[in-house]
Chains A and B, each alone.
Chain A
Amino acid sequence: MKEFTYYQPKSVDGAIGLLDAKWGKTELLGGGTDLLDLTKEYVAQPDKVISLTGIANFADIQVAPQTGKGSVVLIGAGARLAAIADHAHLQKIFPALTTAAGMIGGPQIRNMGTLGGNLCQRNRCWYFRDEHVHCLLKGGQKCFALDGENQYHAIFTQGHKCVIVSPSTLGPVLIALDATAEVQGPKGKRTLELAKFFFAPSGENEREHVLAPNEVVLSVKIPEKEGTRNASYEVRQKQSYDWPLVQAAVAFKADGGKATGVKIVLGHVAPTPLVVEAAAKEVEGKEVTDAVATAAGKAAAKDAKPLSQNGYKVKLVEVAVKRALLTAANPGKRQYWEV
């Protein structure tokens, strides 16, 4: 791997000052679970690596009660995935988040990986990760997955030249929960809805998110809404150490037996997390029954345009959405598919 200079600034300002305005020369280091791989594979070859671990309170998880309106949760970008998964209060109010965080990678990954890293990590496409393959995202002319080995790639491919799937499992959950991210760059801070955080890249100067190369995610804020129900369901081939084949994150308000404000977001099926409004519409104002959840699943999968080898994932979308909805609607209740 290429030699680089390592920095560990004590402040966010210090970190931003070290960052380059273009992609490639500088990289931010959180837990290192992604960057180390990328550098060893010569996919990332930074001159400077800027660790965020020296910044005070960067990993804090704060729960601030709001009078009469539940609480607001503020999670520092440096918070470890394990700390999120194990947080007792979060488990109570945002099971979608803690379940998703608790299933990422294995214990080693979760003890190193961070919230910020999960949102900003690079995709796992095996062509992108192979040093010898010059794909679109590395300045090449073509996406090799389009007519190559694409069993794990996107099934919502319309309008995309590059058919990676977004690797973030927390992204879909945070979008469903109406979270916002606080971001800081050379010009100061800005707040970004998570729904607008992700981006479908198609060239070497683009990433899987909208941040500028010299911006840093500081924290994520999630509002707790009264009567909120939420869940994340992943279809995985392996229960240990595997990527989801498909993920569905759902959130709604249980309003006298009826679901309102329904949000359904898919993960690992498109270059970004995918909000499926048509599916939410199937549930809005209704009781979440098997039939309603099934209809929502079908609506979520309707527009899929799979590639040559991943048609099976369309069916998985239907199932993941259905199961996420039923899980959210029946918290703590054992579901018929659970073994």
Chain B
Amino acid sequence: MATSWPKDRRLIGKDIPRTDGPEKSTGRARYSIDMNPKGLLHAMILRSPYAHAHIDAIDVSAAEKTTGFKAVHEINGAGKEVYFAGDEIIAVCADTEEHCRDAMRAIKIKFTPLEFFVKEADALKNPQSKTISGPAKSNVAIGAEATKGDVAAGFKDAEKIVEADYGMPVICHQCLEPHGLVASWEGDRLTVWASTQAVVGTAQQLAATFKARIPQVDVKCITHYMGGGYGSKFGPDIQGIVAAELALKTKAPVKLMLNREEEITVGGNRPSAYGKIKIGGKKDGTITAYEVDCHGSPGERGGATVNLGLLPYVYLDTIPNWKRKHTVVRLNTGIARAMRAPGHPQNCVLTDCPVDDLAAALGIDPLIIRRKNLPPNDDKVAQSDPTAWLGQRNNIYVRELDLAVKLSEWEKKWHQPGQGGKGPIKHGIGMAIHTWGGSAVGNLGDGQPANDATVIIDRGGQVIVQSSTQDLGTAQRTVSAIVAAEILGLKVSDIVVRIGESPFGRSSGSGGSTTCPSQAPATLRAAIAARDDLFAKIAAKFGAKKEDLVIEEGKVVDKASKKGLDWKKACAMLGMDEAKGVGAWSSNMANEIDPDKKILVNPGVSNVQVGGVQVAEVLVDVETGVVRCTNFVAVQDCGLIIDKLTCESQVAGGVIMGVNYALFEDRIMDRHTGRQVNPDMEFYKLGGIQDLPRIKVAMVDMPERGVIGIGEPPTVSTAAAVGNAVFNALGVRVPYAPYSPENVLNALAKKGAKG
């Protein structure tokens, strides 16, 4: 039978506080870092102080004599090279954190420092040099050029052309709970309490690590609470494997969590993106051509920087002529990892900021140019699947633009760039738009969905939702409870949710905003299955046909006799049995087509692709260059909203991250030492409550589309919107973020010099 969400929704879509809020806010919630099993040992990793060096020799003899020393585990031994300051060399284990640090410092390593680059400009000036690992011939990899249409003709057709530089620095992951885990062996069984956004994946990777040595290895990963991942915590990582190795070696539980400096230097980062952009258009707002030549650094191991295939981003299908070129610059710095919407915030700056500059050159309101260039609907898609993004994206953007304009009072507040007031404090307002996927995860190699959930109803009426999925702070625990409570006619607080343990079924890592669209439908199917199992098992005692049993709030009712029984009394009819249902979900199921009817089998359960519009207001002090983001409007769709309150909270969180990206964050590398000078929360600046705007979130509910993920999209266009607001205030583009006093004053001085 086809799956569908209930038409009348008692709980789904309402404002429901997260169920674990009290645990978290009172400190009772125990995170992985809080786990201190009896006999716990502590481990740390000795890292390269150099940006690039050859390890000549490692001498641990002095360390072995220090108080409390237990064991070491070598990661990169003598004869190997280390490729950035922070690269792992050897891990040490001792009875206390303090002794562990003492032992680590007693290890003597002889290095031969080697040539390195930590600044993109330096590496680009030396394209023949290679200071990185792997087979690449150079640090600099120039990508192939891609074009659409006739760019030269497009620029010829333009009434105004703008050419300028735009750029975003590398920023670092700053999860409040650091990376790492606590590992404990009992025979062949390894239990880890990990700070991870992939509970099952972490268990699998650890099992694969030890399989050759311990064929019967059985790994259990537990993540009940999680202090943030944002894309940086998809597996055990080196530190997790090392903790398990040391636990095996010492026959004791071992904790290895990174400290703040390690967190920032090796915990992952968002690659930089610097682009030379040329954009041309006409007075009616038509963009005729766009050209981008950009570079960015994903750190030592390489990888993507911008999302090149999606440039010029939202306008990809609208702009008739474009050309794009991208150079990847590998540096001797920490490794890039997915960070909340990888590549998209950079893409958005590289398109939506030039779009505003073009609007200014054309003398038009940037709202006009955006409306003019919104991506078109695909009418064919709209006919075959009315819930699909492509068939209605233009309408969605228009609806969201209208809402954002109204909520931000754009018509009243927007002014010509540079007309932000008389005194030194200039007002500015800016806009940007974005898109993101957010689908359910697909089937695995065995053809089975990657996600499932189990719902158990016991004879006491207790309902348990069980899943191996993780709640990174995204309120997945609450979402599971809401879905089960909705189907079973109960209150959210009646549901016990057990998640974050790898033996509880299948689940995928929380990346790409896929968790809610995978797990909510799985829970829906499990709850329906459990309910039907209950009906089947109690029908006889109830004196009803199972087909006639229905759920009403707090009751099981026989449609035929109109007889109703309180939930607990009905469940008591299970006797010694229990009712149970397992539900699975995948994008394959969401996309399944009925071969006869040629329509979706399960329409509107989960979907993919969302849009959003954001408007930032700033005050810029032109004497000091200080920028304050004062007001913010975020309009966002995500299909069917399960919990409006936590959904809005996700959007606000995305905006907060984006404002920090725009105004404060900057990984500063030192050219001479090869080290990051600000691996901390002192000079790696993060806004406090006084530095953040009043955020107005407006969710565009489209229940007919089904569930779509919300984690990533709301952070995508924030920095571009803030950048455009600063431009609107000053009439001068501050080319590079962060929009700090230094960068703002330098941009103003440059303009002054030009006259």
Contacts and interface: CB of A to CB of B under 8 A. Distances in A.
Contact of B741 (A133, A148, A312, A339): A312
A156 interface: no
A318 to B, nearest CB: 8
B691 A239 contact: yes
B622 to A, nearest CB: 10
Contacts of A144: 670, 672-673
Interface string A156-181: 00000000000000000000000000
Nearest to A124: B682
Contacts of A152: 683
A42 B49 CA distance: 14
Interface in A1-54: 1, 3, 42
Contacts of B745: 312, 315-316
Given A126-B677, A147-B672, A312-B742, A238 B664 contact: yes
A336 B688 CA distance: 25
Interface stretch (A193-201, A211-219, A240-248): A240-248
A130 B685 contact: no
A316 B741 contact: yes
A315 B746 CA distance: 11
A235 B687 CA distance: 16
Contacts of B669: 149
Interface residues of B, number: 40
With a 10 A CB-CB cut-off, give which of B423, B425, B663, B677 has the most chain A CB atoms.
Answer: B677
B675 A319 contact: no
A239 B425 CA distance: 16
Contacts of A151: 668, 742
Nearest to B423: A336
Contacts of A239: 628, 688, 690-691
A106 interface: yes
A240 B689 contact: yes
Contacts of A3: 98
Interface in A98-149: 106, 124, 126-127, 130, 132-133, 144, 147-149
A316 B621 CA distance: 11
Given A130-B675, A132-B49, A149 B664 contact: no
Contact of A133 (B101, B624, B673): B673
Interface in B679-701: 682-683, 685, 687-691
Nearest to B743: A312
B205 interface: no
A237 B690 CA distance: 12
Interface string B85-109: 1000000000000100100010000
Interface in B642-666: 663-664
A66 B458 CA distance: 81
B732 to A, nearest CB: 15
B623 A337 contact: yes
B621 A337 contact: yes
With a 10 A CB-CB cut-off, give which of B424, B624, B630 has the most chain A CB atoms.
Answer: B624
Nearest to B67: A3
Given A148-B671, A319-B624, A337-B425, A237 B98 contact: no
Interface in A69-103: none
A312 B687 contact: no
A237 B664 contact: yes
With a 10 A CB-CB cut-off, give which of B425, B689, B741 has the most chain A CB atoms.
Answer: B741
B424 to A, nearest CB: 5
Nearest to A245: B741
Nearest to A133: B673
Contacts of B133: none
Contacts of B98: 1, 3
A152 B740 CA distance: 12
Contacts of B691: 238-240
A148 B670 contact: yes
Interface in A302-334: 309-310, 312, 315-316, 319
A339 B628 contact: yes
Contacts of B741: 235, 237, 245, 312, 316
B266 to A, nearest CB: 15
A2 to B, nearest CB: 8
B688 A339 contact: no
A236 interface: yes
A243 B626 CA distance: 14
A159 B172 CA distance: 37
B688 A148 contact: no
A1 B628 contact: no
A267 B745 CA distance: 20
B723 interface: no
A124 B680 CA distance: 12
Interface string B63-86: 000000000000000000000010
B625 interface: yes
A339 B742 contact: no
A330 to B, nearest CB: 15
Nearest to A309: B742
A210 B585 CA distance: 71
A229 B552 CA distance: 73
With a 10 A CB-CB cut-off, give which of A237, A238, A336 has the most chain B CB atoms.
Answer: A237
B619 interface: yes
B746 A312 contact: yes
B626 A236 contact: yes
B623 A240 contact: no
A240 B688 contact: yes
Nearest to B738: A237
B307 interface: no
Given A144-B670, A148-B670, A339 B619 contact: yes
Contact of A235 (B624, B688, B746): B624
B673 A132 contact: yes
A204 B683 CA distance: 24
B678 A126 contact: yes
A326 to B, nearest CB: 12
Nearest to A132: B49
Interface string A172-192: 000000000000000000000
B625 A312 contact: yes
27 contacts: A1-B101, A124-B682, A127-B677, A130-B673, A130-B677, A133-B673, A144-B670, A144-B672, A149-B668, A149-B677, A151-B742, A235-B626, A238-B664, A239-B688, A239-B690, A240-B688, A241-B688, A243-B682, A245-B741, A309-B742, A315-B623, A315-B624, A336-B423, A337-B424, A337-B425, A339-B619, A339-B628
Interface of A: 1, 3, 42, 106, 124, 126-127, 130, 132-133, 144, 147-149, 151-152, 235-243, 245, 309-310, 312, 315-316, 319, 336-337, 339
Given A126-B683, A127-B677, A239-B691, 19 more contacts: A3-B98, A42-B105, A106-B688, A126-B677, A127-B670, A127-B673, A130-B675, A133-B673, A148-B673, A239-B628, A239-B688, A312-B625, A312-B742, A315-B624, A315-B745, A316-B624, A336-B424, A337-B424, A337-B623
